[in-house]
Amino acid sequence: MKKVILMLTVGATFMLGSCASTNVAKSQMETGKEVRGAWTLSDVSYAGLANQQVQGNVKVTESVASVFDMAKPECFVGSTWNLVQNNKTGTYTFNTADSACPSGTAKIIWNIVEEGTTTYFTFKDVTGIKAKQNTAGYKLRVDQLSATNMTLVQDVSVDGKIAQVYYTFQR
């Protein structure tokens, strides 16, 4: 009798665990569907440090010198991001006239990751290489997501303080 009760308890635990992981997978899949498609990065803003706040002799917009190991955040304003959901590939293309900013298109691999109640957009640059050759990537918190707007947040270190860069996208 004890063995039967033990087996039923283990079976019930297994079934409940299976249902919980299915819900997470469905949630990630739905978020991925909402993220897919073409987006334009329309605005970059900051929290934790004001845009015009001076740290030493440097404005915060100059302190956040590079994001995604590529360029200053403002260089990404106007960039177009195309995200393919079925194979998690995509591109982003710089569309700025600023000569201090890079030009061209970068290839990326992206994903939606849920950690507890927080959803993250992760990606890594795979321009000119195989995805497995680049083990480093970027993790941005999904702050807001709708059919027409998306806001991603990146934590950055500025003069020993943690600040946030907000990237606002529109379709």
pLDDT, one tens digit for every residue, the chain (171 residues): 555 444 444 444 444 444 443 343 345 446 667 889 999 999 998 888 655 554 443 444 444 556 787 788 888 999 999 999 888 999 999 988 888 888 999 999 999 999 999 999 999 888 877 777 777 788 999 999 999 999 999 988 777 778 888 999 999
User: How far apart, in whole angstroms, are the C-alpha atoms of residue 154 and residue 139?
Assistant: 7
Tell me, what amino acid is at 50?
A: A
Distance, C-alpha 12 to centroid of its chain: 36
Q: What pLDDT, on a 0 to 100 scale, did the predictor assign at position 146?
A: 92
Structural domain boundaries of the chain?
Answer: 2-170
Q: What pLDDT, on a 0 to 100 scale, did the predictor assign at position 23?
A: 40
- C-alpha separations of 98 from 36, 72, 92, 136 in Å: 28, 11, 17, 28
Backbone angles phi and psi of 157, in degrees to 5: -100, 125
- C-alpha separations of 46 from 3, 60, 145, 146, 153 in Å: 59, 9, 18, 21, 9
User: How far apart, in whole angstroms, are the C-alpha atoms of residue 100 and residue 106?
Assistant: 17
**pTM of the prediction?**
0.72
User: How far apart, in whole angstroms, are the C-alpha atoms of residue 155 and residue 43?
Assistant: 16
Architecture of domain 2-170: Beta Barrel (2.40)
